[in-house]
Each structure stands twice: as C-alpha cells, then as structure tokens.
Amino acid sequence: MSWFLATVPFDLYELGLFHLVAEEGSFTLAGQKAGLTQSAMTRQIRGVEDQLGVALFERTTRRVSLTPAGRLLYAKSKPILAAAEATLQQLQQDFALIPQTLRVAVDRSIGLACFPGFFFAFRKRMPAVQLHVQQLTGDEIIGALEARTLDAGLLALPRRLPGTLTATHRFADDFVLIAPPDSELPSTPGPTNLRTLRKRLATQRWLLIDHRGTTGARLHAWLRKQGLEISPAIELDSFDVIVNLVALGLGCSFVPQRVLALYGNRRKVRRIATDPRFGRELAVVVRKNRKQPEPLDSFIRCILF
C-alpha cells in the first residue's frame, strides 16, 4: 500500500480534470468549467499521461476524444469520483460541515424580478457563504440535482419529481395578458372574460414561452382549453425578453405578473387581467437528505416570496 500511494500517477483533482475534458470534448471548455486556461488544462492532462506512460486523448484541431486507454480509465474511475463526492456529502449532512459555496440554479422561465426575493435575505444572514448561481432549463436543473452538481433549484414544478428529489418551498405565480401600448384590445377595470376576447386574440401576433418546457406545455394546453388555438410567431425561453418585445409592439403574450415589476414606465405594456387566469407553481427543489446542510437550510428559510 505504501508503494502504491508513493507512485500513484494522479490525484482526485487531476482525475476530475480528466473527466471534465472527456465530457466536454474540449480542453478550452473543460478549462472554463474548472477555472483554468486552456494551456493549464492541457499541461495537467499531459502530466497525467506522462505519469501513466499512455495517451488518454486523441487530439484534432476540432475536438479531443478518448483513446481506448482513456475510455477504460473514464469508465473505471467514474465510481471513484462519485464515491468521493458522496462521502463529502455525507460528512456535510451528518456533521454539519459548512460548504464554502452553495450551488443554486434558477429556471430560465423565472423572471429577473424574482431574484431579490430568492437571494437578498440569505446574503444578509450568511455573507460568508458564496452563492454560485446559474440559469438553466427545468430539465437541466433536475438532472444536475440528481448528479449532485447542484444543491438547490428554483423552477416551475413539474407534475412529477424523481424519487430522489423533493420540493421544500412552494409558491403560486399568477399570469396576466400583456399587449403593446397601442393595442386595440379592450381593457376593463376588472378581469376580462376570455370568451369575449376570443375572436380578437385569435388575430393577434403572439410571443409565447417555449412549449417544450414545463410552463410552456401547460400554458399551451390551458389556451387550447379556453378555445384559443394559437400558433406563436416567436417562442422564447425568457419572460423578460418577451416583455421587452411586447413593449416594442411585436405582439401579445401571457407572462407572470411579478415579471412586470422590473419594467415600470421604462417598458410600457398594457396589462389585461383575465377570467379565468393562468398560473403555475414555483418551487425550491433539493435532494432528499436526512438533514440538510445549514447553509442550504438557511437559504430555503430566507426566501421571500
């Protein structure tokens, strides 16, 4: 055992870098994820290959791919990295070790106006904990949570979560119909019955959230239920972009009411409350653990919504 430890050709850090290059197919992209330059990443992998005495990657001008030796190392070492990460997670859960970074992802379909409610109170309560925040699709968030590359996700709640995940915090997100400032759509002091608008809405140019996501699929189904067969001119994955395009006169849309808080007079749109109205449920999703690490538990409790 002493001989093996003294002569092992790489450590877990270098093994992790090897896996990044294998998965990204690029030294540049892998380096960006690891916080290294392309040349530094190349040197690290070259050092591992030199120590092993075998090439792990075939390099071309466009892409790098695994050699037979590289494929063997990747397959055999994947459980090693997974076991090391699981061990650290267990230490955090059982002994309340505080991680330096809390990794959080926010669904692309959640507007920027919601971000202060997610993060402001937590930053005041635990300023020493770094937040690493990404915007991903709902499916990407769920996949990353299962792969343990995220600690928490804020997303539109799907109909079913994997058995390894749970929703710890839920809140309603109501939608409103918006139209350009010069739109001929009628507005009333109270909610407008959608049936009375059906013919006019059918002739509008529509900008809708991507139908492939959880929110988009439900919104399209809800519109069909209301008798509105809408073929959108543009589909996007961001309600913030949609609001800006509606303000520029490019069409109508249904957007979360909270998204409009960012725009005020700078991006004027006509807001039309409808009856019935569409809504979704947002949620904080985490892995099922016996005990959440304190920073994650605090983050969940600090959400203001």
For residue 55, with 0-12 CB atoms within 10 Å meaning exposed, 13-18 middle and 19 or more buried, which class applies? middle
Determine the pLDDT at residue 116. Answer: 87
Residues 42 and 34: their CA atoms lie apart, in Å, by 12
DSSP state of 98: P
Determine the pLDDT at residue 163. Answer: 83
Strand residue runs (E) in the chain: 57-59, 64-66, 101-107, 130-136, 152-156, 165-179, 192-193, 207-209, 234-236, 253-256, 270-272, 274-275, 279-287
Determine the pLDDT at residue 2. Answer: 54
Nearest to 180 by CA among 112, 264, 271, 111: 271
Low-confidence ranges of the chain (pLDDT < 70): 1-7, 35, 92-99, 187-188, 264-267, 290-291
Determine the pLDDT at residue 127. Answer: 85
- Which tokens sit at 206? 């529509």
Determine the pLDDT at residue 3. Answer: 55
Contact 287, 145 (CB under 8 A): yes
- Which tokens sit at 71? 């494929």
Determine the pLDDT at residue 5. Answer: 57
Going from the N-terminus, what domains does the chain have, and what CATH number goes with each?
Answer: 2-94 (1.10.10.10), 99-172+282-302 (3.40.190.10), 174-280 (3.40.190.10)
Determine the pLDDT at residue 113. Answer: 87
Determine the pLDDT at residue 146. Answer: 85
Question: What is the model's pTM?
Answer: 0.65
Determine the pLDDT at residue 67. Answer: 94
For residue 272, with 0-12 CB atoms within 10 Å meaning exposed, 13-18 middle and 19 or more buried, which class applies? buried
Q: State residue 63 phi and psi, 5-degree precision.
A: -160, 155
Determine the pLDDT at residue 110. Answer: 92
Task: Map residue 273 onto helix, strand or coil.
Answer: coil
| Beta pairing, strands 57-59 & 64-66 | antiparallel
Determine the pLDDT at residue 265. Answer: 55
Strand partners, 103: 132
DSSP state of 158: P
